[in-house]
Amino acid sequence: MIRHRTFAIMGLITAISACGQTKEAFDTHPVSDNEYRPGDFDVDNSEQNPQCPSKDTMTGLNTGDTFPSVQYPNAEWEPVSIKSLCGNRAILVISATEWCTGCLVEFDYLASVGSDWASRGVGVYYTIFENSAGQPATRGTLIKFEEYMEDIYGSVPFRMLADRSATLPRSLNGRVNLPLAWALDPQMVITNFSEGSNSAMITEWVEELLDRPDASPIF
């Protein structure tokens, strides 16, 4: 069965070449059609594993920091904590929008390699903060992306999440070049960060993490 949502995304991906896109300081405000409303940051303070994430480094979004323990809703509108990825051999955190063409190209690449990466211990935390109209992402936005992965690649190797308050890009204090990408080690310590990331860049990050002698899962 052909889904028009799937082909809307596919058309954008194939029609426009990858390019980073910028946006000034974000002034969007959540207009909720759902019950769950993430805040700045929506911090998960639960203790899932006392050894993870790392408590030896400061929390932040710069290289060398421990990534904040944030959580955002998935397509079922249930909160998903980044702590659930702690212990993976490599972790990718992406912040993107539906209107950013470079983000769509990077998303398509991740969808194509996601199943293989997952089998090798790579966790992906893919967040969308705005839809194609520049409004906060909704359940429908997430479902559209997951339907595309299922239709084109036969699986959903990572779940889409809605950062409706744009907490990740806002935290960088001003103009950003999308998509944003962070690579984290098993303890959720940031090893790489880039604005305007691309498939070659994030692949290099992931392979470097997988090759590290301390890359075995924590649990």
The per-residue pLDDT of the chain, averaged, comes to: 83
Residue 27's pLDDT is 38
Long-range Cβ pairs for the range 158-161 (8 Å, 24+)? 158/110, 158/114, 158/118, 158/123, 158/124, 158/125, 158/126, 159/74, 159/75, 159/80, 159/126, 160/74, 160/75, 160/126, 160/127, 160/128, 161/72, 161/73, 161/74, 161/80, 161/125, 161/126, 161/127, 161/128
pLDDT at residue 217 greater than cutoff 60: no
Tally of domains in the chain: 1
The enclosing domain of 92 has a CATH number of 3.40.30.10
The pLDDT of 204-219, averaged and rounded, is 80
Per-residue pLDDT of 75-128, as tens digits, reads 999 999 999 999 999 999 999 999 999 999 999 999 999 999 999 999 999 999
pLDDT at residue 62 greater than cutoff 80: yes
Residue 43's pLDDT is 61
Residue 213's pLDDT is 82
Q: What is the share, in percent, of the chain residues with pLDDT greater than 70? A: 74
- Is position 147 within any domain? yes
Res. 175 pLDDT band, cuts 50 70 90: confident
- Is position 22 within any domain? no
Under DSSP, the state recorded for 194 is: E
Domain that holds residue 72: 46-211
Residue 174's pLDDT is 74
- Is position 18 within any domain? no
Residue 11's pLDDT is 55
pLDDT at residue 28 greater than cutoff 70: no
- Is position 14 within any domain? no
- Is position 77 within any domain? yes
Res. 142 pLDDT band, cuts 50 70 90: very high
